[in-house]
Amino acid sequence: MAESTAFLFPGQGAQAVGMGAAAYAGSPAARAVFDEADDVLGIPLARLVLEGPAEELVRSHNAQPAILCVSIALLRAMAERLGDAAPRPAFAAGHSLGEYTALVAAGSIDLATALRLVRRRGELMQAACEATPSGMSALLGLALDPALEACEGTGAQVANVNSKEQIVIGGPTAALERAIERAIAAGARRAIPLEVAGAFHTEVMRPAQGAMDEALAEVDFAPPEIPVVANTTGRPMTSADEVRRELSQQLCGCVYWAQSVEYMAGAGAVRFVEFGPGGVLTGLVRRIAGNATAVAVTDLDALSALT
């Protein structure tokens, strides 16, 4: 089994005012991504990313295209700086929103299409959150099966399996509180509330499903040029139909991140490179696949670690 590299892309929550500033200032290829985003969306996204205000950047319809933009800007800065010395991925994967970024990296959709889709996705998710007060909480020290049992019958759901001992649950506010109580009773060390607009990857997002499916139906997806490992299955997508189905299902479906990383590691990935703000996925890789090398490319200086 050949040793290989996987490219990873973060999701919502990684945003921060000033992310990508060094790439914007120091890489023409990166700056072109910001310029395209401004043109495609008809908003000053680059200014919002670089200058804020934070309370506007954090809103889903802004945060999602912003993170996608910064991640692709860093990816293109790498290609510009390293040329033939740049690593070539055998797999790509992204956490939630990051799945769209991974599909851009894999040639399944172009940047402009992805930006429009995630802008719409963010609008629909924000509206769903406002319709149903809800939240998410990270359970530490509780495995998947007990977490599922804690949610059963409450109206809350497991939303992200980030590692074997970090399970995120979400749901309407009262349902989430009941599930947290049961999780603590079942042995969870802590339940950490997440600063999100609402319960992503749960039935709270169901009102957004129809309109998102309509937006996806208008896109001509290409088969990914490299396998993109799907959030909801932890297995690679290789056809356009699989891509469209996955992007629909992941809106309300659980993100099986630990299983995705385990699949790539089992298929020969020994190096994981995360492009984008935050570096959260790099930390998770170190917990999930401890023997692998994990590198977070959050700015231009980090590119030196890839040569």
Same domain, 56 and 23: yes
Same domain, 83 and 209: yes
Same domain, 86 and 189: no
Same domain, 111 and 244: yes
Cβ partners under 8 Å of residue 145, min gap 6: none
- The DSSP 8-state label assigned to residue 35 in this structure reads H
Q: Is 96 annotated in the active site?
A: yes
Pair 257, 285: CB distance under 8 Å: no
Choosing from 27, 60, 95, 201, the catalytic residue is 201
Q: Is 201 annotated in the active site?
A: yes
d(CA 131, CA 204): 9
Indicate the pTM of the whole model.
Answer: 0.96
- Give the pLDDT confidence score for residue 1 in this predicted structure: 60
Residue with tokens 């088969």: 223
Domain that holds residue 145: 133-193
Where is the domain boundary, 150, 172, 193?
Answer: 193
Same domain, 139 and 126: no
- Give the pLDDT confidence score for residue 290 in this predicted structure: 87
Nearest to 276 by CA among 46, 29, 7, 53: 7
Same domain, 59 and 17: yes
Residue with tokens 């977070």: 296
- Give the pLDDT confidence score for residue 278 in this predicted structure: 93
- Give the pLDDT confidence score for residue 305 in this predicted structure: 84
Where is the domain boundary, 193, 228, 244?
Answer: 193
Give per-residue pLDDT as tens, 112-169: 999 999 999 999 999 999 999 999 999 999 999 999 999 999 999 999 999 998 999 9
Choosing from 27, 96, 108, 134, the catalytic residue is 96
- Give the pLDDT confidence score for residue 217 in this predicted structure: 97
Same domain, 207 and 157: no
Nearest to 129 by CA among 217, 195, 178: 195
- Give the pLDDT confidence score for residue 102 in this predicted structure: 98
Strand partners, 119: none
Nearest to 73 by CA among 256, 283, 298, 305: 298
* Parts of the chain with a pLDDT under 70: 1-2
Pair 294, 274: CB distance under 8 Å: yes
- Give the pLDDT confidence score for residue 306 in this predicted structure: 87
How many structural domains comprise the chain?
Answer: 2
